Structure 1
Amino acid sequence: MATMKDVARLAGVSTSTVSHVVNNTRFVSDEIRERILKAVADLNYSPSALARSLKLNQTRTLGMMVTTSNNPFFAEVVAGVERICYQRGYTLVLCNTEGDPERLSHNLEVLLQKRIDGLLLMCTEARSASAEVFGRHPAVPIVVMDWGPLNTIADRIQDNSALGGYLATRHLIEQGHSRIGLITGPLDKLPAQSRQQGYRQALEEADIPFRAEYVVEGDFEFTGGISGMHQLLALAEPPSAVFAGNDVSAVGVYQALYRAGLRVPQDISVVGYDDIELSRYLTPPLTTIHQPQAELCRQAVDTLLDRIQGADDAPRLITLEPKLIARESVRSLK
């Protein structure tokens, strides 16, 4: 296997000049650059990523921890993060937690031992992860994406879920609905709490009494939407509209209504949250709250790269603003 010294010998230059051309770290004349590149091609030379990482103390690799879920939102975010990493010249290593704090701690240890330059966290189990794991690798910067909180110092990029919940509920109120059900996510998770907060704020502003029986705790999964909708339909006075805590739950709501012989939106209106790609292909297309996924991914990666490059300001909290996407799943009662 050819080495940098072999390339330098064939091209008639120093190894440092070869290094500058290979790593594009200093100007080298076109004539010398062409000689070096020809030697590289002739010798089939490939720079050692390991050697380069040891010399620069960087691997140009980011780690990401994400909760395994049926929710396409996570898959779409991971794809967006990987795309931004590629554009920035970094490789992404992904680990799933499957909701298990022990697996989270194990995978964290493995990633940190592999000398990743930085870590993205998008998993609620991070709250119970051992601070000891992070303490053993204090130099590795961390950015939390939306889901947390986290028991270590880190930057956070998050959706304004309270505003999103408010926008969803206010839209239903503006369409004449006053009996509005809510199927939340797990209420030990911050996004679910915040979306319920927005729901209650919109009701209060409209002088609509809060009815505890209209709020059902779900799990942000398809099955939670199904079971939650069944509970609401069993009430003596079911709601005329439902705000599902995320789009996956809304798909479950659609299924439950179909099984009950009810139609969206003629019988019950539905609003979701996230604006996953699937939402526009439902029948009817789902009115939902759009999370700015592209901005979430870009801000998370760029904030992490800022830390890797030495930014030492106080931990940042970047809040992204959701917006309502009105489609065909809400009926006006006016």
Structure 2
Amino acid sequence: MGNVTMKEIARRANVSTATVSRVINNKGPISEITKSKVLAAIETLEYHPNLVARSLKNSTTHTISLVVSDISNAYFAKLSLAVEQVIHPKGYTLIVCSTGDSPEKEAGDLKNLLEKKVDGIILNTTGGNNEYISALSRKAPLVLCNRKIDNFDINCDFIDNDNYTASYKLTSNLIEQGHKKIGIVNGPMIVSSAQERFEGFKDAMNKISINITQDYEYYFDARYDEQSGYEVAKKVASLENKPTALVIMNGPMTIGALRYFRSQNIRIPEDISIVSATDIINQDLFYIELNAAIMDPWIIGKRAAEMLIERIEQDNKIPNREVRFYPEIRIGNSTKIIG
């Protein structure tokens, strides 16, 4: 039945429209008997409340959005499940957007979400819309996830792992094993995670008096995806003077590199050592056990959702907060000692 009104529900249940409104909005005292009568009438008449009209009246849509660079990345898939687990019991619906690391798509997605009046946004930014996002943060509660925006005017929370420490420790371990010709496969330097991981690598290499810049012989630019990891591995294999080890700065790029090396029968670690600054989900299914930083997306997603709910409930009027988790470094069998 279409276009059923609260008046018809009230008539069917033999109660006032005010009582129907209290049941629908779960507000005010009401007996269980009366509530049951109203719910039965709603079910019989197939009443569907006008959510848009209600949101305009109550200034809430009970929706939260998660905007990430690549939802096909297992890290973000698991993170989104954690967000959902936190917000669902509180009555919120999750809208997920995947930008493909395109600043243009990110800007369009964020604009659409504001127009839909979402109650809050968890954002893994592309790094290309900093001024717009800073302005947005004063209109809607915002939590930045894994990628930070350095803008004094932004009003948001930020949550991430300690990228610097992960990169520094993994690179230092390679140095301790005798490696000096160490390559770095890094993501776009426009985002904070790539910058932080680069700094960790650079400081570790400085211990053996190797000065690292982006002109470094074994610096490889890549995107944070599997295909770019595959392409870099192919390039590394073609070099006459090859690195003895690679520090790869995220899981999908590491998967891509492993896929190429295996296709060419290039052995890990016999022919080249590999470490990953973020772990691979379902690592136990792979043919090697990576030296990697263990970064749990479930913890990040859960805390990001909790922080966003706090912002929503406090009308976005709380000081900016930053949370960092220190990753555990797992030593597997993907590196070897060299003389």
Q: Distance in 1 between matches of 2:136 and 2:317?
A: 19
Cα distance 1:135–1:177, how it changes in 2: closer, same or farther (>3 A)?
A: closer
What's 1:194 paired with? 196
What's 1:288 paired with? 292
2:218 is matched with which residue: 214, 227, 235? 214
Q: Distance in 1 between matches of 2:182 and 2:83?
A: 35
Cα distance 1:325–1:3, how it changes in 2: closer, same or farther (>3 A)?
A: farther
- What is the CA deviation profile of residues 230-268 of structure 1, one whole-angstrom value per residue up to 9, with x for unaligned ones? 454455653332211112222232234335532112222
User: What SS does the aligned partner of 1:124 have?
Assistant: coil
Contact 1:65 1:96 in 2 (8 A): yes
Cα distance 1:183–1:138, how it changes in 2: closer, same or farther (>3 A)?
A: closer
What's 1:121 paired with? 123
State the shift of 1:59 in Å: 0.2
1:324 is matched with which residue: 302, 318, 329? 329
Cα distance 1:57–1:286, how it changes in 2: closer, same or farther (>3 A)?
A: same
What's 1:58 paired with? 60
What's 2:147 paired with? 147
Contact 1:178 1:208 in 2 (8 A): no
- Asked if 1:159 corresponds to 2:161, the answer is yes
The number of residues matched between the two structures is: 331
Unaligned 5+ runs, structure 2: none
What's 1:266 paired with? 270
Q: Distance in 2 between matches of 1:2 and 1:328?
A: 65
1:37 is matched with which residue: 36, 39, 42? 39
- What is the CA deviation profile of residues 83-127 of structure 1, one whole-angstrom value per residue up to 9, with x for unaligned ones? 4433432122233333433333233222211111112221224x4
State the shift of 1:71 in Å: 4.1
**Mapping for residues 1-334 of structure 1, pairs under 5 Å:** 1-68=3-70, 71-125=73-127, 127-128=128-129, 131=132, 135=135, 138-149=138-149, 152-205=154-207, 207=208, 209-210=210-211, 212-233=216-237, 237-310=241-314, 311-332=316-337
User: What SS does the aligned partner of 2:300 have?
Assistant: helix
Q: Distance in 1 between matches of 2:155 and 2:189?
A: 24
- What is the CA deviation profile of residues 24-68 of structure 1, one whole-angstrom value per residue up to 9, with x for unaligned ones? 333422333333333333333333323332332100112333334
Cα distance 1:134–1:272, how it changes in 2: closer, same or farther (>3 A)?
A: closer
The one-letter code of the counterpart of 2:144 is: V
Q: Distance in 1 between matches of 2:107 and 2:24?
A: 38
Q: Distance in 1 between matches of 2:86 and 2:136?
A: 28
State the shift of 1:175 in Å: 4.5
Cα distance 1:321–1:259, how it changes in 2: closer, same or farther (>3 A)?
A: same
The one-letter code of the counterpart of 1:319 is: R
Unaligned 5+ runs, structure 1: none
The one-letter code of the counterpart of 2:47 is: Y
- Give the TM-score normalised by structure 2: 0.83
User: What SS does the aligned partner of 1:22 have?
Assistant: helix
Cα distance 1:31–1:100, how it changes in 2: closer, same or farther (>3 A)?
A: closer
The one-letter code of the counterpart of 1:202 is: A
Contact 1:167 1:323 in 2 (8 A): no
Contact 1:101 1:129 in 2 (8 A): no
Q: Distance in 2 between matches of 1:328 and 1:86?
A: 40
Contact 1:105 1:129 in 2 (8 A): no
Q: Distance in 1 between matches of 2:231 and 2:37?
A: 69
- Give the TM-score normalised by structure 1: 0.84
Q: Distance in 2 between matches of 1:25 and 1:208?
A: 67
State the shift of 1:273 in Å: 2.8
Q: Distance in 1 between matches of 2:297 and 2:9?
A: 45
